Amino acid sequence: MNEQSPTVSAGAARKMIEDTALKGGALVFGVADPTGFATAPEGHRPEDLLPGTRSVIVVGGAKPRAGDWASSNFRHMELSSTNDRVTALAMKIANLIERELGYYALTVPPGVDEGQQPFLSLSLAAELAGCGSRSLAGPVLHEDHGFVYFGALLTTLPLPHDKPLETPACPAPECVDMYKDTGLTPCTNVCNNAEGGCLSGRIENGRWAERSYDAARCTARVYNHWIPSFQKVVADALDEPDADRRRMMLNSGLFTRTLWSMTYANISQGQCFECVRVCPVDARTRDLR
């Protein structure tokens, strides 16, 4: 690609990109140093996707609305996908960088590569870009906006880099106070490992000193529909010799909801948001009339 115009400094280029992101609906913006991905698996680092990457741009937004959390029917969440909007915004920024600034830009695909590995860890990118910190259950939480969906793009454009947060968003002060009184936090209370849930941990001096997240158990609950369910039902149906029973399996509510989650809801995957639902980090944005 052509070299950046000498009239556009790195700082000015960053402001142009950030303004575009915020006008496009982003709540969170940051730029990570690609050298910070050394802990990522080989093949899943910025240079593996775009040789010569000098900046990893992260945008976050499209969070569930306050009404989504207040709804008594959790099922609508899996059919109300909003995270594809963040990916579309990243693609818009990539187009801006290539056409107006003259540098390569590559949007990180939101799906998975071989072995169910993401092409690039959006969680790690968000942390390195100062867009939040990882919570007990894994999702990155922004200190003001809580849970948001993230998108990232790689570019050969050199930009000023951000740094990870010095004070993590998790545990929140409310969680620390609750832990002092009960030994639990909102998320470990609603999904406690000792009671068949996925989470547990110990807080010391306002930070997680120990943490446990049962990823296998959580995955079995989060991915009840979407691609894993599709694969399971199809495999079982192919092995089923009874035609009526096979027809029942393919017309079941489970398989129908799976097809909806794969098509109508685009890349919406999760069916369990309980740990995020009770998280107090962005409680002020959910308490409405």
Cβ-contact 144, 280 below 8 angstroms:
no
Distance (Å, whole) CA 45 – CA 119: 8
Domain boundaries, the chain: 10-155, 224-262
Q: What is the pLDDT of residues 246-264, one digit of tens each?
A: 999 999 988 887 787 777 5
The per-residue pLDDT for 131 is 97
With bands split at pLDDT 50, 70 and 90, how would you rate the model's confidence at 105? Answer: very high
Distance (Å, whole) CA 59 – CA 153: 9
Share of the chain above pLDDT 90, in %: 66
Min mean pLDDT across 61-75, 204-218, 258-272 is at 258-272
Q: Cβ neighbours of residue 126 under 8 Å, at least 6 residues apart? A: 28, 30, 58, 60, 132, 140, 150, 152
Between 83-96 and 10-23, two packed helices, what is the crossing angle to 10 degrees?
Answer: 150
- The secondary structure element, H or E, covering residue 243 is helix 243-250
Distance (Å, whole) CA 211 – CA 203: 9
Q: How many CA atoms lie within 13 A of 116 on its CB side?
A: 4
Q: What is the pLDDT of residues 129-165, one digit of tens each?
A: 999 999 998 889 999 999 999 999 999 999 999 999 9
The per-residue pLDDT for 229 is 79
Q: Average pLDDT in the 275-280 region?
A: 90
Interior/surface letters 181-192, b for 16+ CB within 10 angstroms, e for the rest:
eeebbbbbbbbe
Q: What is the pLDDT of residues 201-254, one digit of tens each?
A: 999 999 999 999 998 888 777 766 677 778 889 999 999 999 999 999 999 988
Distance (Å, whole) CA 156 – CA 133: 26
With bands split at pLDDT 50, 70 and 90, how would you rate the model's confidence at 175? Answer: very high
